[in-house]
Structure 1
């Protein structure tokens, strides 16, 4: 399987997870290929740090199966240099990442002017690869509604409308700039945003989207149990929205599954850090999809086949663990972290 969205930590975050540990847990779960995100410490926004990261991944046991996104800043020269790096390190630097809202690492380019400039610079550089975007419109966030003693309020502080409007913005900015690459909307959490994406596809715009296991298996109700530490960006949504996203996934309306794997220490989570381990949830989602009669053809597209097509990785055989092993492997993976947000789902399975 291919996981096109992971945060494998290490470096200045070794207390959360090392590359070697992340690779080991993923291998246990049947994930054989990764796309790592750039909000590391330090961030992957320069050629020097990107080359160092690739070398460290190789030393930890991966080479051809490890890819990363170069992070984008608001600097024109930096954007141009990252475009050149996708050519120089083709297949290793798999695409570019834009945070249209602040999340872990504070790499957000949060104004409309900054975001428009990115797409204009990419169009001027004739970049036709993938730009993956974290979509949450900063001006629509409501931080005063956040109660640190109730993680379910995170969904009030970062409402669906912030994602929906940010998705609308990115689609508009791409069109206006004449950007000819592929816009990828990461970790979709809102059915309304999916409607905008499907409308754009019908107009011929090159856009893809993915969902995480947590957004289609867990709802904001689960986050009320503080012991599960189910807090992430974008947050969990209502049960009605969760069901709609799961139905959309099962019907083939979403391009792929990505875990957004982002482990923390327990103390980080107690202090309100956003992000959860995701590999065990991936196996649970595979099981739930199969339990709901997902076809083998669609399932293979969702866990790697479609990613391979969009990123030009060549035709790949996608191997999925045997059905009878999914629950046990998920349990084993969960035990390799200090908290398990998928505990309630595993109990139901």
Structure 2
């Protein structure tokens, strides 16, 4: 299986996870290809950092195919340089990542004029690869509704409207800029945003989207249980949103599943850090999709087939664990981390 959205930490965050640990756990879960995100510390925004990360990953595991997303910043020269580097180092550098809202790592480009300029710059230099986007519109966030003692309040502070508006912004800004590349919308948490992406597809845009295990399986009700530490960006949503996204997966309306695997220490989570380990949840989601009638062909597309097409990687077999293996593998994966947001679901 392929997981195209992970945060493997390491370097100045090695206490959260190392490349070796994350890749080992992934491989035990039958995930043999990973796309790592750039909000590391230091971030993957320079040629030196990117080349060092690729070298470190090669030393960390011989079992897992490793790629990374290079981060873009507000420095337009850096955008040009990293776009050129993505061409040179493809497929090791699988594409670019734009944070259209702040999240872990504080790499957000929240100014809309700057977002437009990034797409204009990419169009000017002829970049036609992938740009993955974290969509949350900063001006629609409501930080005053955040209650540090109630993780479910995170969904009030970062409402659905912020995601939907940002998705529509990215579609509009990239089109107006003449961007010829592929736009990927990360970790959808709302069915309304999916409808906007489907409209863009009907208009022949190069665009894709993904759903995470936590947005397909968990809700704000789960976030009320503090022991699950179920706080992430974008947040968990209502049962209506969750069930709609799960149905969309079964209907083949979503391009792929991505975990947004993002481990922290227990101390960090107690302090409100956003992000949860995702490999355990991925296996539980596959199990539930099978129980709801997902065909082998659909699962193959969701867990690697479509990613290979969009990323323009060489076609290969996507191997998915058997139904009987999924629960045991998920439990084993959860034991690799100091907390498990999917534990309640496993007992249902």
- 2:194 corresponding residue in structure 1: 194
Mapped partners of 1:92, 1:8: distance in 2: 16
- 1:230 corresponding residue in structure 2: 230
Mapped partners of 1:220, 1:126: distance in 2: 42
Mapped partners of 1:63, 1:107: distance in 2: 30
- 1:308 corresponding residue in structure 2: 308
- 2:164 corresponding residue in structure 1: 164
- 1:47 corresponding residue in structure 2: 47
CA RMSD after TM alignment? 0.8
Aligned pair 1:4/2:4, yes or no?
yes
Which runs of structure 2 are paired with 1:75-154 in the superposition (5 Å)?
75-154=75-154
- 1:185 corresponding residue in structure 2: 185
Mapped partners of 1:133, 1:87: distance in 2: 18
- SS for the counterpart of 2:308 is helix
Mapped partners of 2:138, 2:87: distance in 1: 32
Q: How many angstroms does 1:63 deviate by? A: 8.1
- SS for the counterpart of 1:133 is strand
Mapped partners of 2:124, 2:95: distance in 1: 17
Q: How many angstroms does 1:62 deviate by? A: 3.9
- 2:212 corresponding residue in structure 1: 212
- 1:38 corresponding residue in structure 2: 38
Mapped partners of 2:177, 2:217: distance in 1: 36
1:256·1:303 contact (CA, 8 Å) conserved in 2?
yes
1:5·1:34 contact (CA, 8 Å) conserved in 2?
yes
Aligned pair 1:276/2:276, yes or no?
yes
- SS for the counterpart of 2:35 is strand
Aligned pair 1:258/2:271, yes or no?
no
> What is the TM-score when the length of structure 2 is the normalising length?
0.99
- 1:57 corresponding residue in structure 2: 57
- SS for the counterpart of 1:136 is coil
Mapped partners of 1:90, 1:300: distance in 2: 24
Mapped partners of 2:62, 2:248: distance in 1: 34
- 1:291-316 Cα deviation digits (max 9, x unpaired): 00101001000000100010111111
Mapped partners of 1:93, 1:19: distance in 2: 16
> What is the TM-score when the length of structure 1 is the normalising length?
0.99
Q: How many angstroms does 1:64 deviate by? A: 7.3
Runs (5+) with no aligned partner, structure 1: none
Q: How many angstroms does 1:151 deviate by? A: 0.2
Aligned pair 1:18/2:23, yes or no?
no
Mapped partners of 2:215, 2:141: distance in 1: 19
Question: Residues 82, 62 of structure 1: CA spacing in aligned structure 2 closer, same or farther, 3 A cutoff?
Answer: farther
1:57·1:63 contact (CA, 8 Å) conserved in 2?
no
- 1:207-253 Cα deviation digits (max 9, x unpaired): 10000000000001000000000000000000010000000011000
- SS for the counterpart of 2:252 is coil
- SS for the counterpart of 2:220 is coil
- SS for the counterpart of 1:260 is coil
Q: How many angstroms does 1:25 deviate by? A: 0.6
Mapped partners of 1:138, 1:112: distance in 2: 10
